[in-house]
Amino acid sequence: MRLPLVLLLLVAVASGRSAERPLPEVIRDSFATAAKQYEWLLPRLPADGSLPRTFEHGKLVTTTARDWTRGFFPGSLWYLFEATGEKRWRQEAERFTALLESDQHNNWTHDVGFILNCSYGNGLRLTGNPAYRPVLLNGARALSTRFSPAVGSLLSWNPRNGWKFPVIVDNMMNLELLLWAAREQPDGPFREIAVRHADTTLANHFRPDGSSVHVVDYDPATGRVVTRVTHQGVADDSAWARGQAWGLYGYVVMYRETKDPRYLAQARKIAAFIMNHPRLPADKVPYWDFDDPRIPNAPRDTSAAAIICSALLELRTFVPAEEAARYAAFAEAQLRSLASPAYLAETGANGGFILMHATGNHPKNSEVDTPLNYGDYYFLEALLRARALK
């Protein structure tokens, strides 16, 4: 009786897939683990309106007043509400979203797009609360004040490090707020600003292989490229993993909203760069920079994996079946990795965050091999997108 069972197991392992749990089960259990984890975290948060950002050196790190990551925790609470339909998550999401109301006038960073879209944007989408609409519109107006017609781009960071008009590839993520505003107010400036920013980034951030540089600094008077450098990668000519993820996600959104085939082509090119990279580990969770010379002894970045996974799950909806199946299979493999004990934290571990092993700012030795609130956010988003797979 024992031999056939052993044989069956061997066949199952050899064929790989048949040994795997069905994906819907993995998704269901991951949501349950995530919900338990944030239930554990919520009562441990300070009452001063700061939001959880990471867990580093054995301590919970919360956001400062100007932190670019403030929208992600409220956004994750909205995603838990979407996943479970439970009122308690809606109540928590509403409570934390309200903390960001003054960001509707935030014109000091491009990240107002992240901050408001993840919090108020998801809130509006899921509840239709009319009070959320003006906050988002004001935020889009505030973001638009950072657009320079001379450069054809939004200003990402205010001048620093000798840069006069730095634009980072991450800035592609903030266009979603503008594109939402463009749908609300088609006569407004929002669509043109988003399109010009995306076109300028397309022209100047990308290399022939589809990878991107982190920072392009422009001459604010003429729009001439002054320099192309990294801020968070290992080298100016390297492929910082999260930068590749932001670019992929950003052009998928641009295609969704404009149907301009140039954006789809760019998203495909970035996807191919990532998916075929010879230094992408077998579990498809990238090292923090594809070009770190210490690979395979370099930290991973689960936040990059989650962003890529979520982006591919949307990209698959825009391409022919065979290509869609490749993106879905890759995203599924990433989800299975992230949902495994190698990356998904147990309740009460990891400072209460969902995913372990992300990398924030490696060159500054900050948030290396820690959780990150945005890793959690895009993981939950990817789970929702995978759950909707047909």
* Position 146 contacts ligand GLY (CB under 6 A): no
Q: Where would I find the beta strands (DSSP E) of 147-265?
A: 147-148, 153-154, 166-168, 215-218, 225-229
**CB-neighbour burial class of residue 366 (10 A; exposed 0-12, middle 13-18, buried 19+):** middle
**CB-neighbour burial class of residue 126 (10 A; exposed 0-12, middle 13-18, buried 19+):** middle
Residue closest to ligand GLY when measured from CB atoms: 170
Question: Which residues ranging from 190 to 219 are in contact with ligand GLY (CB under 6 A)?
Answer: none
- Give 69 or 122: the residue with its C-beta nearer to ligand GLY: 69
What pairs with residue 240 in β-bridges?
A: 289
- Give 109 or 138: the residue with its C-beta nearer to ligand GLY: 109
Catalytic positions: 111, 170
- In single-letter form, the type of residue at position 354 comes to I
Size of the site for ligand GLY (CB under 6 A): 3
Distance CA 377, CA 283 (A): 20
- Give 81 or 206: the residue with its C-beta nearer to ligand GLY: 206
- Give 113 or 139: the residue with its C-beta nearer to ligand GLY: 113
Distance CA 87, CA 380 (A): 18
* Cβ at position 170, least distance to ligand GLY in Å: 4
Produce one character per residue of 244-271: b if its CB has 16 or more CB atoms within 10 Å, e if not.
bbbbbbbbbbbbbbbeeeebbebbbbbb
* Cβ at position 172, least distance to ligand GLY in Å: 10
Token duo for residue 161: 């490090």
- Give 242 or 300: the residue with its C-beta nearer to ligand GLY: 242
Given phi > 0 = left and psi -120 to 50 = alpha, else beta, which region is 210? left
Backbone angles phi, psi at 388, to 5 degrees: -85, -5
Token duo for residue 45: 């948060």
> Which CA distances in Å does 314 have to 9, 78, 268, 387?
35, 19, 12, 12
* Cβ at position 213, least distance to ligand GLY in Å: 14
* Cβ at position 259, least distance to ligand GLY in Å: 27
Distance CA 114, CA 134 (A): 16
- Give 30 or 119: the residue with its C-beta nearer to ligand GLY: 119
* Cβ at position 94, least distance to ligand GLY in Å: 26
| Secondary structure class of 389 (helix, strand, coil) | coil
Considering only residues 67, 82, 170, 176, which one is a binding residue for ligand GLY as defined by CB under 6 A? Answer: 170
* Cβ at position 217, least distance to ligand GLY in Å: 16
Question: Which residues ranging from 104 to 133 are in contact with ligand GLY (CB under 6 A)?
Answer: none
Question: Which residues ranging from 229 to 258 are in contact with ligand GLY (CB under 6 A)?
Answer: 232, 242
* Cβ at position 12, least distance to ligand GLY in Å: 40
Sign of the C-alpha dihedral, residues 197, 199, 205, 211? positive
CA atoms within 13 A on the CB side of 174: 34
- Give 191 or 231: the residue with its C-beta nearer to ligand GLY: 231
Element (H, E) at 359: strand 358-361
- Give 63 or 232: the residue with its C-beta nearer to ligand GLY: 232
Q: Which residues contact 249 (CB under 8 A, 6 or more apart)?
A: 172, 173, 307, 308, 310, 311
Please say whether the beta carbons of 308 and 248 come within 8 A.
yes
* Cβ at position 232, least distance to ligand GLY in Å: 6
Residues in contact with ligand GLY, shown as a per-residue x/- string from 311 to 330 under the rule CB under 6 A: --------------------
Interacting residue ranges for ligand GLY, rule: CB under 6 A: 170, 232, 242
